[in-house]
Amino acid sequence: MNRLDELQRQIEMAALIYEFPEKYSENDLASLFLTSESTIRRDVKALRDMGIRVFSRKQAYRVEMNLSEINSLVTTYLAFAKNETIKNLPLILEKFVNKTISFFVNTVKAIRDKHVMEIEYRSAKTDKLQWRTITPVAFYNAGKTHYLIAIHQDVPKMFTIERIGQFRFTKQPSPVKEIPSVNELFKDSWGSFTGGKIVKVRLRFSDDHEQYMSDKFWIENQETRHTDEGFEITLHVKLSNEFIAWVMGWGDAVEVLEPDELKTAIVKKANAITKKYN
């Protein structure tokens, strides 16, 4: 059995123990996974080495995991299904050629070891290449493209991979003491970008959208309620162009109750669109 098979079994075992705490013993798990008790003990050690807290009581196991650890196990296991596609890979491959895989592998190693790396990056504003020293945080899948999230001059930024000209990896430890997780970076963001000011937003939707809106997880801090005028949702979210576009996409099915700056932004964009096509 290869290392990937072992990792897959370890995640499956963690899922089972997490769902049924203190139910399965070493012998039970060995029977379920068609392996030996010594292998189960090695798997438990491997899970602990990943940071998963595995406990044993009366020869039965239980695990404790936080949101970040659960996310790590789920995304790792999903990779086994080979359903992840890097849609901008053709552009990246054209740029990096035979260095493409090394770029991803060594960037992940820099993330793991908390080392800085250097990239020659083409700015979207100036169209000029400039070397930047960054602390990589994660790769982020935004659907049509993958980004590299990194700390540059103490600010989290998203770098479009195909705008990177050259790259260098160092063994230099990052000066950033507290490197945020992806969940922390996007906690109050709407969509792909982390910028914008956090504001309280109240939206009222027509009744025929209530079921759809209430069934969806939009953002961590969302609050919903039904009123005589319609279905309301309250969010504390960074006011970005992505969020404004999402609200406008609902057309007359939504009314912005607050803040005024969101109303103003929508009116400004709507007027510009109307003017363009009149």
Question: Is position 187 within any domain?
Answer: no
| Residue that terminates a domain, selected from 80, 110, 145 | 80
Residue-wise pLDDT for 133-186, tens only, equals: 999 998 888 877 889 999 999 888 889 999 999 999 998 999 998 888 877 888
Q: Give the chain's domain count.
A: 3
Question: Is position 191 within any domain?
Answer: no
CATH code assigned at 113: 2.30.30.100
| Residue that terminates a domain, selected from 18, 51, 80 | 80
Residue-wise pLDDT for 49-98, tens only, equals: 999 999 988 789 999 988 788 888 888 887 776 656 778 888 888 889 88
Tokens linked to 241 = 């162009």
Are 100 and 24 members of one domain?
Answer: no
Question: Is position 185 within any domain?
Answer: no
Pairing state between β 198-205 and 254-258: antiparallel
Question: Is position 227 within any domain?
Answer: yes
Location of structure tokens 């400039």: 130
| Residue that terminates a domain, selected from 80, 102, 132 | 80
Q: What is the mean pLDDT of the chain?
A: 89
Question: Is position 182 within any domain?
Answer: no
Amino acid identity at 235: L
Residue-wise pLDDT for 259-272, tens only, equals: 999 999 999 999 99
Are 206 and 273 members of one domain?
Answer: yes
Question: Is position 186 within any domain?
Answer: no
- pTM of the predicted protein model: 0.68
Tokens linked to 238 = 């960074």
The residues near 85 (Cβ < 8 Å, ≥ 6 apart) are none
Instruction: Strands of the chain (E only): list them.
Output: 53-57, 60-64, 115-122, 129-141, 146-152, 155-160, 164-173, 198-205, 223-227, 230-238, 254-258
Look up the domain containing 259 and give its range. Answer: 198-277
Instruction: Tell me the mean pLDDT in the region 216-225.
Output: 84
The confidence score (pLDDT) of residue 25 equals 93
Question: Is position 157 within any domain?
Answer: yes
Are 99 and 167 members of one domain?
Answer: yes
- Helix, strand or coil for residue 261? helix
Question: Is position 266 within any domain?
Answer: yes
